[in-house]
C-alpha cells in the first residue's frame, strides 16, 4: 500500500480499538473511530448472525462518514451450550450486563460440565462505495473453571487457545494478536487490501 488509507472503526469498545490499532501498526492506515464523528449512529446489534451485525455497523458508519468503514462482531461459541452465547456474547447475562457478569453466567452454565471446548469467531465487515466484504477469523480452545489473568477484555480470563496453557488474559497483547480470532480476520482483510494495491 502506497497512500495512507483513512478508515473509520465502527466501534466504541476501547478493548477492540486498542487491539485493532496494535494489529495495524506499521501499515499506512489512518484510523478514526465512531467517537471522532459527532452524531455517528449507535447501531443496534439485533441481527441473528455475527456477519449480519458486522455488515450493519460497517454500512451505517460508512454512510454517516463517507469513509471506508471497518466493523466486527465477535462471539464465543461453546460446544456444550450448542454454540451459545454466540451472537449474544456481549449481552449473555442480560441487557446492560458487563464483562464480569457475562463471565459469571458462562461459568454458572458450565458448572460440572466436562466438555469445555469452545471457539471465538470474528466476522470483520469492510464497507466502501463498492459494497461490503466480510472476512472471518476463528480461534479454538477451551473454557477454564475459574478466571486467570488481568489482561484483555470480555471472556479472555476464561479462554485458553489451542496450543497454549495460558488464557488470553495472561498473554501479552502481541501474543494474543498472533493467535486470536480478531487477528486472523484482520490479517485476511489486510491481505485483501494488499492484493488490491498490486492490481
- pLDDT tens digit sequence for 143-171: 999 999 998 889 999 999 999 999 999 99
Q: What is the C-alpha radius of gyration for the chain, rounded to an integer number of angstroms?
A: 17
Where do the domains of the chain lie, and which CATH numbers do they carry? 5-198 (3.90.950.10)
- pLDDT tens digit sequence for 73-125: 999 999 999 999 999 999 999 988 999 999 999 999 999 999 999 999 999 99
Instruction: List the catalytic residues.
Output: 73
d(CA 49, CA 52): 5
User: In sequence order, which residues have a C-beta less than 8 Å from that of residue 114 and are 6 or more positions away?
Assistant: none
CA terminus-to-terminus distance, the chain: 11
Burial group, residue 143, by CB count within 10 angstroms (0-12, 13-18, 19+): buried
Evaluate whether 124 touches 137 at the Cβ level (below 8 Å).
Answer: yes
Specify the 3-state DSSP secondary structure of 29: strand
Its pTM stands at 0.87
C-alpha cell at 36: 471522532
Q: Find residue 76's DSSP bridge partners.
A: 86, 120
Q: Find residue 117's DSSP bridge partners.
A: 142
Amino acid at each position: 500500500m502506497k497512500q495512507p488509507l483513512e478508515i473509520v472503526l465502527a466501534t466504541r469498545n476501547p478493548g477492540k480499538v486498542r487491539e485493532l490499532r496494535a494489529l495495524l501498526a506499521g501499515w499506512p492506515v489512518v484510523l478514526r473511530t465512531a467517537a471522532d464523528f459527532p452524531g455517528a449512529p449507535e447501531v443496534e446489534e439485533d441481527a441473528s448472525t455475527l456477519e449480519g451485525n458486522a455488515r450493519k455497523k460497517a454500512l451505517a458508519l460508512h454512510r454517516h462518514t463517507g469513509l471506508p468503514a471497518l466493523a466486527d462482531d465477535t462471539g464465543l461459541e461453546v460446544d456444550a451450550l450448542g454454540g451459545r452465547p454466540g451472537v449474544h456474547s456481549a449481552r449473555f447475562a442480560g441487557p446492560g450486563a458487563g464483562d464480569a457478569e457475562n463471565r459469571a453466567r458462562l461459568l454458572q452454565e458450565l458448572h460440572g460440565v466436562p466438555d469445555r471446548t469452545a471457539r471465538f469467531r470474528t466476522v470483520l465487515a469492510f464497507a466502501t462505495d463498492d459494497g461490503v466484504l466480510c472476512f472471518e477469523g476463528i480461534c479454538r480452545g477451551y473454557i477454564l473453571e475459574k478466571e486467570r489473568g488481568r489482561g484483555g477484555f470480555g471472556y479472555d480470563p476464561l479462554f485458553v487457545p489451542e496450543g497454549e496453557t495460558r488464557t488470553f488474559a495472561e498473554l501479552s497483547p502481541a501474543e494474543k494478536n498472533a493467535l486470536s480470532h480478531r487477528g486472523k480476520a484482520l490479517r485476511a482483510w489486510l491481505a485483501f487490501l494488499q492484493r488490491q494495491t498490486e492490481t
